[in-house]
Amino acid sequence: MKKIGAFFDIDGTIYREALLIQHFKKLMDYEVIDRGIWYTDVKKVYEEWKKRYGDYEEYLETLAPIYLDNLKGEDRKFVNYIADHVIKASGDQVYKYSRERLKWHKKQGHFIFFISGSPDFLVARIAAKYEATDYRGSIYKVDSSEKFTGELIPMWDSSSKDRVISELIEEYDITLDESYAYGDTTGDVSMLKKMGKPIAINPNKALLEIIKKDKELSEKVEIIVERKDVIYSLDSSVKFLDY
């Protein structure tokens, strides 16, 4: 029997924002991160993004090193406790299309995998909520005292995702040509190219440009755009305005 997998990115693909951002905000509530840092280091790029002048990736890239630095020395149990509150408060803030696809794959008996650049302890919790078969996320290292060291093994680039996906494919004996991949940025390119049925969900411009230039990917990819209460299904011939 063929074993079919469904490989999902999380941030921007399932989850409508970024798990790290939500955890960052909750860490401020618990005074793990000084709220003043938001105003001195983050607010400007956040407001530029909200006004559609700035880039979401720039906003996230500004937060990530601050987040990592402020976790250093914190107890893993306490950070996990806060992570539980993040999932409880906002774990349902997902795209309707992605939620229905997860239900469909589960009904079909497919293996469901979450592959994300978000911290592994957050990915673990969202994977449990949506009953994923397995998951991989960026590993935030802890020492022998269960304190975060400030070191990590990232999982947000295409090559890192390709490596762990290959491991999962071998471990679960997945049939590639009938399996699915869901992603929204260039970090998901290797995953989309590897599977027979790739779906780009609300793709950013950089991913769309790659899809258009890659003949093999453009011939098989489906593009999904969810706006307000409408879900659009497009092919790679879609035109976008370059403002």
**pLDDT tens-digit series, residues 90-121:** 999 999 999 999 999 999 999 999 999 999 99
pLDDT digits (tens, 9 = 90+) for 148-193: 999 999 887 888 889 999 999 999 999 999 999 999 999 899 999 9
* Single-letter amino acid code for the residue at 10: I
The residue whose two tokens read 């879609």 is 238
Number of alpha carbons in the 13 Å side-chain half-sphere of residue 110: 23
Domains, the chain, with CATH or none: 5-234 (3.40.50.1000)
Element (H, E) at 46: helix 43-50
pLDDT for the residue 143: 97
Q: Three-state SS for 127?
A: helix
Whether residue 139 contacts residue 153, with contact meaning beta carbons closer than 8 Å, is answered with: yes
pTM: 0.94
pLDDT at 53 over 90: no
Q: What is the rounded average pLDDT of the residues 44-56?
A: 84
The residue whose two tokens read 């979450």 is 114
Can you say whether residue 228 is alpha, beta or left, with left for phi > 0 and alpha for psi between -120 and 50 degrees? Answer: left
pLDDT at 147 over 90: yes
Question: 15: pLDDT confidence band, cut at 50, 70 and 90?
Answer: very high
Question: 240: pLDDT confidence band, cut at 50, 70 and 90?
Answer: confident
Q: Three-state SS for 1?
A: coil
Whether residue 76 contacts residue 86, with contact meaning beta carbons closer than 8 Å, is answered with: no
Could you tell me the two tokens for 92? 């349902």
Q: What percent of the chain has pLDDT over 90?
A: 80
